[in-house]
Structure 1
């Protein structure tokens, strides 16, 4: 699936999720998981935190999907959820600083 979908494609998938179609949310996850993970990893410096925050982002998005305004981009909405979760995590736990050579040890 392409990294960025056009708004109509996003909204069609959101509608399928809201109608209870099994597997439809997986399409959204597949489309946006890389972007959310990369954002979390860049901001936290931790692969484990990035994985956890990515998962939590999609859990929160799924639980709040009925609140999503389909006149807007799903991409923007889920990015904002992820960004807020990451910021809260950094406020609470700080950012892991890793020297480049330690990342590959």
Structure 2
């Protein structure tokens, strides 16, 4: 998702966001009891814009899901060790006391 910033001209660079924000300028000309409706409209417009942006970030429907980790992903909580991985249950765990075939041992 791209970051929207003020370009020095009072705009964000996104026409729909700019329009929503500009509509807030009319609040000072409206009675207070009408403010909630204007703010609700602006909120809805901004939510719709965010939903559009999120939908654009999703993979295309014709792309098959993959079980592969992203190429920029790397586990950060795994300790580097030369020890082999444990295959037996840890003492005190719900699986402790059972053999690999599921029978009690």
TM-score under structure 2 normalisation?
Answer: 0.29
Q: Which has the higher contact order (CA 8 A, sep 6+)?
A: 1
Largest Rg, 1 or 2: 2
Q: Which has the higher helix share?
A: 1
